[in-house]
Amino acid sequence: MSSKSNIFITEETIEGDEDGLLADKTVAVKDNISTEGVTTTCASEMLEDYVPPYDATVVEALKEAGATIVGKANMDEFGMGSTTETSAFGPAPNPVAEGHVPGGSSGGSAAAVAAGEADLALGSDTGGSIRNPAAFCGVVGIKPTYGLVSRYGLVAYANSLEQIGPLAPTVEEAAALLDVISGPDEHDATTREEGADSDYASAATGDVEGTTIGVPTELVEGADEGVKARFEETLDDLRDRGATVEEVSLPSVEHAVEAYYVIAMSEASSNLARFDGVRYGKSGGFDGNWNETFSESREAFGEEVKRRILLGTYALSAGYHDKYYKQAQDARAWVKQDFDEAFQSVDVLASPTMPVPPFEQGESLDDPLQMYLADANTVPVNLADLPAISVPSGEVDGGLPVGIQFIGPAFGEEEIIRVGSAVEE
Ligand code: GLN
């Protein structure tokens, strides 16, 4: 692990073109996004020495926009976690809340922006991994609609749920970075035409006059008192600026965390099968028995990754598939339907990004279930393929940042950027 207190796994300058939208900007790139010739570890011992032979599409886009990449940011191993403590290279700090986690899994990306080590950052969000660290570090993060940003070159954790997205000090800067990375890509068949000629940055007008904001009661009820208080204050400000706030109900979200973890772990068990020491990953060499050779290579995974591969394999196995995986897919469809209905009567939905302030360092490591439950407000968005933004909305307990999340309809990025920018005014 390099210096800068574990914010970066690899510090390396990658120069972009001479000019472009981001010509004077530095960017931190999460270490699960491929950079040609520069180590991409996913914060795993398994990929400690892996040097990709090509750039992710988003990295190409950064270079074309003239950005200077300053390093590969620390993260939870393969994106599995909410605190950046499952990194094989040690935890990243929270630059604005000492002794507390920066959130995760894109904790290094958020910390880089919060500490001023980079102007902007890229993270990836499978179940909250951009919004959670944005909230915990007091910066802005956007999880784009599924299909808006190419995943080509993103090392897959749970590919049906995840998107690459921006982190930045302000909504407008995050939107400008989204403009650079969004749009169709022939290397990723799940991308769409939307975003091809986007101008998200100019949607950050701060104007919420006449906007209807729905608040799903299920996403507020369980939150800490302090978090709730900041959330209500922010809504009051938005009302003063001309928005209407109304309660809505999303009954399905009660099952979102279960459904998310079954789907994410199932996909992970399949995606991570390639790290067998033959195709990818560490190899101890063939010792006459392939089963042993493979299982020795897979020792290089950390505990959380092993847990998820085991659970995911179990959920997909014959006899259990219908009981877990199929049910989770049904729940996913129900969550989507609930959101569709809600958007018939409101423009955006709002909730606290995280129901709790940043955990103390070390706190969540011995209780994975507690950590999974903290994802209650972020995972429904990934299950429904929707866009969401997290914007700083004050502090609790003497200096711990909290965020407010706005969720939009599919490809409604402009709407959430507009409303998000009103919070900053
Ligand atoms: N905390 C969630 C998980 O561990 C989200 C991770 C992510 O979005 N990559 O799966």
Active site residue 30: yes
Task: List b or e across 286-317, with b for residues whose CB sees 16 or more CB atoms inside 10 angstroms.
Answer: eeeeeeebbebbbebbbebbeebbebbbebbe
Q: Is 80 in the pocket of ligand 1 (CB under 6 A)?
A: yes
DSSP notation for 275-311: BSSSSBS------S-HHHHHHHHGGGS-HHHHHHHHH
DSSP code for 378:
T
C-alpha of 183 from chain center? 19
Q: Which atom of ligand 1 is nearest to the CA of 264?
A: 10
Q: How far apart are CA 392 and CA 401, in angstroms?
A: 7
Q: Which residues of the chain have pLDDT under 70?
A: 1-3
pLDDT of residue 5: 78
pLDDT of residue 370: 84
Q: Is 101 in the pocket of ligand 1 (CB under 6 A)?
A: no
Q: How far is the CA of 15 from the centre of ligand 1 (A)?
A: 30
Q: How far is the CA of 79 from the centre of ligand 1 (A)?
A: 6
Question: What number of residues does the chain have?
Answer: 425
pLDDT of residue 2: 43
Q: Is 165 in the pocket of ligand 1 (CB under 6 A)?
A: no
Residue to probe by mutation, ligand 1, list 84, 105, 307, most atoms within 8 Å of CB = 105
The single-letter code of the amino acid at 310 is L
Residue to probe by mutation, ligand 1, list 44, 74, 129, most atoms within 8 Å of CB = 129
The single-letter code of the amino acid at 413 is E
pLDDT of residue 365: 76
Q: How far is the CA of 113 from the centre of ligand 1 (A)?
A: 20
Q: Is 126 in the pocket of ligand 1 (CB under 6 A)?
A: yes
Tally of CB atoms within 10 A around 326 = 13
Q: Whose Cα sits closest to atom 5 in ligand 1?
A: 127
C-alpha of 406 from chain center? 15
Q: Which atom of ligand 1 is nearest to the CA of 106?
A: 9
Contact indicator for 73, 108 with CB cutoff of 8 Å: yes
Active-site residue, selected from the candidate residues 4, 25, 30, 282: 30
Residue to probe by mutation, ligand 1, list 101, 132, 359, most atoms within 8 Å of CB = 132
Q: Phi/psi at 366 (nearest 5 deg)?
A: -90, 0
- CA angle in degrees (0–180, nearest 5) for 236-422-245: 40
Active-site residue, selected from the candidate residues 44, 82, 105, 393: 105
Q: How far is the CA of 124 from the centre of ligand 1 (A)?
A: 9
Q: Tell me the CATH class for 4-251+336-424.
A: alpha beta
pLDDT of residue 425: 85
Instruction: Output the pTM of the full model.
Output: 0.97
Q: Phi/psi at 10 (nearest 5 deg)?
A: -130, 125
Q: Is 81 in the pocket of ligand 1 (CB under 6 A)?
A: yes
Cα–Cα nearest to 260, from 307, 164, 328, 313: 328
Q: Is 79 in the pocket of ligand 1 (CB under 6 A)?
A: yes
pLDDT of residue 359: 95
Tally of CB atoms within 10 A around 221 = 10
Residue identified by tokens 């701060």 is 206
